[in-house]
A and B are shown apart, each in its own frame.
Chain A
Amino acid sequence: MNFFRQFLALLRMNLGGEGARLGSVLTIIVGVTCTVAVLVSMLAMGTGAHSQAVGDVHDDEVVVQAKGSRFTESDITRDEMVTLRDLPGIARDKDGEPHVAGIVLVPFEGHRRGTGRRVFFPLLGSSDAKFELRPPAHLTEGRLFEPGLHEMIATNACVRQFDGFELGARRDVHGAQWTIVGHYDPGQSLQCIVLSDAATLMSLFGRNGYNRINVRLQAPSDFETFNRALEANPSLKLEAKTAREATEADFQQFNGLLNFVSYFIGSIMAIGATFGAVNSLYSIVDARRRELATLRAIGFGSGAIVAATLLESILLALPGALLGAALAWLLFHGMAVSPFGFNFRLDVTPRLVEIGIAWALFMGLIGGLLPALRAARVPVTTALRAT
């Protein structure tokens, strides 16, 4: 109890005197603010990219690719497609047609509005356009492409980001003129996606196989049934993943890179800011030498002094953490960026704010250690004798 009362008295004395040491206190707050603001906004990139990527995923959808394939070079024959349509677990429409779409990907380029910079993205050919336009995705303008004609539809993001995706615009694909006949909204994604008919694209590019097949199941729980049937069929050299798994796998590397960079920069800034905090706390403690020595002389324990100084340091880091997280939210939340050809919005989530605060408290704890020890070791006699 005695320890606790001493601790409280010390804390009150410490925090009460902060006003007189405004420079040192502000140094700590500004340092922590900048660090947390940078860390939270950098991490918001990874969170934003991830939440957008999985945001449009339907849990009952499955992606089927050729076994062991990588990149876009998976090759699925039409025979395999026919066999696959009869597997159990697949959802069917009222005419009994299974919800299965064969997808081909061909590279396509766009030129960024304003800068004219060239960006590559895939042109998607789907054997069943209704599959890709499953709600919440929907056409916003124009109409769907006609199979057999050189027509395609583009997401609204394409129109915003690139030149030449307006309704009726003509695009050159492999020596043929294609027309943009519709615009659609894919849900949350800001990615430019251009969609057309799979068979038309395949004949133009002389391809025989699909790159992947999208399947809609009756219910997410049917995945096991579907997957077992797929693996049991000797004529199918295919592997299935839930759409969520496939998306996560695609984003893993990108997300890993973003998070690595965020924590790398965040750590370096934290180290710098902690040095600054140590310096400030030393001068705060030094300015209190006489008071501390007096308290020691009248019987305050060094444990209470250490604890009070540490808590003071942590409390000084807290406003910086809140301020930094608030700054990150104000400046960057919802900002659209497109590094490495991915388009997404920064997303400052409560979870990131928690990480920022934890980071700041840790900085406060580490930064306060040495000054707290010095405070506890103030030699009573010399400190009292000093002017």
Chain B
Amino acid sequence: MKYLPLIWSGIWRKPGRTILIFLQVAVAFVLFGVLQGLRTGVQHAVDAARADLLIVHTRENFFSPLPLGLLEQIRSVPGVKVVVPVELFIGWYQKPEEATIVVAVSPEGDWTDAFTFNISPQHLAAFNANRTAALVTEFAAEKYHWKIGDHIPLMSNTKQKNGSTTWTSDVAGTFTDSDVGVGLRSKIIMHYAYYDEARASGTGTVNHFNLAVTDDNLAVTVADAIDRRFANSSHETKTESLRELAQTQVQRIGDLDFLIRAVVSAVLAALLFATATMMMQSVRERTPELAVLKTIGFTDRAVFLLILAEAIVVCVAAAACGLALATLVFPLAARFVVGLAMPNATVALGLALGATLAVVSAAIPAIRAARLRVVSALAAR
């Protein structure tokens, strides 16, 4: 404890230099935090995706239509709790830039169990009761100032039987979506029956089926059973969990891993060089002072630790500052990858790297300081 003031005064011996080193380390750790944090954070978001919710789509891709008739056969597979037909399309509100995902579902029984949507009971009841009703995400409601009871027209590329491509629905309530992954945050749920009856082509088909299983451990078994049931039919399916889907989405950025690693290494290498040089110089300049410390009874070990402690305090504090700044970026990034947050592992790794940086760059000067011979050091003055 008694060394603390000594460490403190050592740090502020040359305030300009310390502040510049501090800033340099902090800036480097902002970059480290953002890059490394995004990489790990995305993986965490994927791990948090639901593995017990399954999507049944055509074997070859995610977009081709499946006949609604498969519904009963899927429902009869043991372990299936609830299965909901889903049709997806893109709608635009007023301007072509304002895209919204429209999810058309059949609201039967406990249909919400097969989704990651959080809907309050009143809103859910209001939606179930009216076939032109729609639920909108809170994000969309706020952005477009939609209120319960509003008629909202959405432009789309899907033609209705009457030739119009504008779909109108009545807002019955709002919901939030806890699914992770890359996608639009503006979503609308409407009735599949309303959509299917009005559209000009494609009647009786769905994009995919959403289903929930009775027991989480059954997810893989159920998925295999469904795919086996439709194998060699004209509608072969592929059943995947939301987690597997998130994994696929996220892997698209996977090839950037190498680049992220290269950038982080370059940043740390440049940083190590700068801090090491500065520590060397600082100790060289302080040779007489260190000699005085030794003269009044400081052991070699104490001097060694003193130099090391100074470096660690500066570097770790700067790293913490940089990581804190990096954390501020995450709410922004979470707009693109839902569920993204700064992982604790990255913060811990960053602080550890900060300490390592300090130890590596201060080791040689500290050893030199410890081995200092008092007589020659004082004589050099």
Contacts and interface: CB of A to CB of B under 8 A. Distances in A.
B62 A117 contact: no
Interface in A287-345: 331, 337-341
Contact of A339 (B59, B256, B281): B256
Contacts of A117: 248, 251, 254
B271 A272 contact: yes
B248 A269 contact: no
Interface string B255-272: 110110011001101110
Contacts of A280: 274, 277
B21 interface: yes
B241 to A, nearest CB: 14
A272 B31 CA distance: 10
A169 interface: no
B270 A340 contact: no
B68 interface: no
Given A24-B281, A26-B277, A282 B270 contact: no
Contacts of A27: 273-274, 277-278
Contacts of B63: 107
B163 to A, nearest CB: 13
B109 interface: no
A276 B24 contact: yes
Interface string A9-53: 000000000000001101100110111011001100100000000
B17 A282 contact: yes
Interface string B221-248: 0000000000001111000000000001
A4 to B, nearest CB: 32
B60 A174 contact: yes
Contacts of A276: 20, 24, 270-271, 274
B270 A34 contact: yes
B30 interface: yes
A272 B256 contact: no
B121 interface: no
Contact of B273 (A30, A71, A283): A30
Interface centre among A120, A268, A278 (most CB of B within 10 A): A268
A95 interface: no
Given A24-B281, A75-B157, A265 B270 contact: no
B17 to A, nearest CB: 6
Given A272-B28, A337-B255, A30 B64 contact: no
B297 interface: no
B235 A23 contact: no
B296 interface: no
A42 B266 CA distance: 13
B134 interface: no
Chain A interface bracket (under 10, 10 to 19, 20 to 34, 35 or more): 35 or more
Contacts of A273: 24, 270
Contacts of B266: 34, 37-38, 269
B59 A172 contact: yes
Contacts of A37: 266
A34 B281 contact: no
B280 interface: yes
B267 A269 contact: yes
B30 A268 contact: yes
B20 A275 contact: yes
B16 interface: yes
Given A30-B269, A30-B270, A265 B31 contact: yes
B270 A31 contact: yes
Nearest to B25: A272
B368 to A, nearest CB: 14
Nearest to A207: B201
A63 to B, nearest CB: 18
Interface centre among B27, B58, B59, B277 (most CB of A within 10 A): B277
Contacts of A269: 31, 266-267, 270
A108 B23 CA distance: 50
A278 B18 CA distance: 12
Given A34-B266, A108-B61, A109-B60, A339 B252 contact: yes
Contacts of B90: 71
Given A108-B61, A172-B59, A279-B274, A268 B255 contact: no
B58 A174 contact: yes
A250 to B, nearest CB: 16
A198 to B, nearest CB: 17
B27 A282 contact: no
A262 B30 CA distance: 15
Interface string B49-63: 000000000111111
Contact of B24 (A24, A71, A275, A340): A275
A75 B158 CA distance: 11
B64 A337 contact: no
Contact of A109 (B24, B35, B61, B255): B61
Contacts of A341: 252
B253 interface: yes
Contacts of B5: none
A272 B267 contact: yes
Contact of A120 (B21, B61, B234): B61
A385 interface: no
B224 to A, nearest CB: 17
Nearest to A75: B157
A267 B256 CA distance: 19
A68 interface: yes
A109 B252 CA distance: 13
Contacts of B236: 172, 175
Interface string A124-168: 000000000000000000000000000000000000000000000
Nearest to B205: A206
Contacts of B234: 175
Contacts of B16: 282
15 contacts: A23-B277, A27-B278, A31-B270, A34-B266, A70-B96, A107-B61, A107-B63, A174-B60, A175-B234, A175-B235, A268-B30, A275-B20, A279-B20, A339-B253, A340-B253
Return the 10 tightest CB-CB contacts between A and B, nearest first: A272-B27, A34-B270, A275-B24, A276-B274, A73-B157, A23-B277, A279-B20, A34-B266, A175-B234, A107-B61
Given A107-B64, A271-B27, 18 more contacts: A27-B277, A38-B262, A70-B96, A70-B157, A75-B157, A108-B61, A120-B61, A265-B31, A269-B31, A269-B267, A272-B24, A276-B270, A276-B274, A279-B21, A337-B259, A338-B255, A339-B256, A341-B252
